[in-house]
Amino acid sequence: MRRLLIAVLTASAILLFLTRTNALLPVNAEPLPEETRKLLEKSLSVVELDREIERISNLKGQTQTEIEIREKRLSAQEIAIAVHREKAGRVLRSYYMGYKDFWLSALLNANSLPELIRVWDTMDMILQSDHKTMDNYSADYQELKLGYGQLQRDKNDLDAVERDLIAQRERITALQQELEQAIAASGDEKMMLKLMEELQAYWKNVGIYEVKQHFRALADAMKNLPDYVKDTPGIIESNGLKTKLTISDEQLNEFLRKEDSRFDDFSFTFDKDLLTMEGDNGHIQVKIQGRYTVEEEPENSIRFHVDSLIFNGLALPDTTRADLEREFDLGFYPQKLIKFVKAQSVEMKDGKLIVQLAIGG
C-alpha cells in the first residue's frame, strides 16, 4: 500500500505540474503500479461511457423527431388517399353497374364513321381518366405502405437505442461503484480523486483530440492507397480471373509516411491476422490493434475493426473503439483499384496483407 501511495503522490504531482505548465502527459515516465493503472483505465472508461450515453441520447432524440414527422406525414397521406379511394370506388362501381355495356352498345349503334369516332374518343378519354384514377390510388397506397414500413423500422431502431441506453447507464453505474470502492481502499481517497480528475481533464482536452487526429490522417491516407498499389510493381498478381494483392508492412509504412509526417513516429505491422499500429511522438503513446474483414454492404470492401486501443499505457473501452470506427473509414475498396473485382478473402501473416480478388458483379 505504501508503494501505491508513493506512486499516486508522484503521478499526481507530475500531473499538477503539467496542468499548470500546459505540457502534455509524459509517455516515457516510469510505469504506474497495476492497481493504479486499472483505476485510471476505469476513470477513462467512465468519461467515455458518459460520452457514449450522450451520443445515444442525441440519437434517441433524433429518432423520436423522425417518428413524429413521419406520423404527421402519414396522417396527411391517409386523408389524400381517402379521396383517391372514393374516386377509385366510383370507377369500379361504374364497371360493375353496366356502364361498360352502355359504351359497347353506343359503339355498335353508331350510324356513321364520324359518330363512331366521337363515341370512341369519348370512351377512350373516360377510360384513360379511369386508369389514371386507379394508378394514382395504387401509387398512393403503395407509398403509404412503404411509409408505415419505414415508421415501424424507425420504432424498432428507437427500441434498440433505448435498450442500448439502458445498458450503458447500468454499465456506468456499476463502473462508478467499482471506482468508489477502489478509491476508498486506496488509502488516500482525496489524492486518488485528484489524480483521476487530472487524467480525465487531460483526456477530454488533449487525448481524444490527438487520437482522432491520427485516425483522421490514417483515413485520409487510405483514400490514396489504391493509387499507390497501382503504381507499385509486384503488389498485384493476376492469374486468369483471379487476382491477388500482397502489400508488406514495409510498403505500408513507406506509403503512410509519404502521406503524412505524423506517421514517421509510427510503425505498422501485419502478423497473425492482426494489424498493429504503434507509435510514440514524445507527447502521446498509442497502440492500436485490429483486423480486416471482407464485407458486402453497403458495397464490397475490406473493413478495419479496432480490437484494442491503448493511449499512454491505458486501455480505452469498446465504446471509444466503436465511435472511432463510425467516424473514420479505414477500409479498402477493391473496385477503386480495378473495376468489376470483388474481395473474396483477406489475411495478415509474416508481415504481409494478402487479399484475394476475383471478377464480380
Q: Where are the domains of the chain?
A: 34-180, 198-359
Can you list the alpha helix ranges (DSSP code H) found in 25-109?
Answer: 34-96, 99-108
How confident is the model at residue 306, as a pLDDT? 92
Size of the chain, expressed as the number of residues it contains: 361
CATH class of residue range 34-180: mainly alpha
List all residues 6 or more positions away from 8 whose beta carbon is below 8 Å from its beta carbon.
Answer: 36, 186, 188, 191, 192, 195
- Beta bridge mates, 306: 290
**Per-residue tens of pLDDT for the chain, all 361 residues:** 334 333 443 344 334 433 433 433 444 444 556 777 788 888 888 888 888 888 888 888 888 888 888 888 777 777 776 666 666 566 555 554 555 555 556 555 666 666 656 655 665 565 566 666 666 666 777 777 787 888 888 888 888 888 888 888 888 888 888 888 878 777 777 877 888 888 888 888 888 888 888 899 999 998 998 889 888 988 988 887 788 899 999 999 999 999 998 899 889 999 989 999 998 877 788 899 999 999 988 888 899 999 999 988 888 888 899 999 999 998 888 888 888 888 889 999 999 999 998 876 5
Whether the ω angle into residue 233 lies within 30 degrees of 0, i.e. cis, is no
Nine cell digits for residue 280? 510514440
Helix (H, G, I), strand (E, B) or coil at 278: strand
CA 189 to chain centre: 39
- Beta bridge mates, 278: 267, 287
User: 110-126: per-residue pLDDT in tens?
Assistant: 666 666 566 556 655 65
How confident is the model at residue 121, as a pLDDT? 60
- Give the Cα separation of 144 and 75 in Å (integer): 10
> Phi and psi dihedrals of 307, rounded to 5?
-95, -25
- Give the Cα separation of 143 and 140 in Å (integer): 5
How confident is the model at residue 27, as a pLDDT? 43
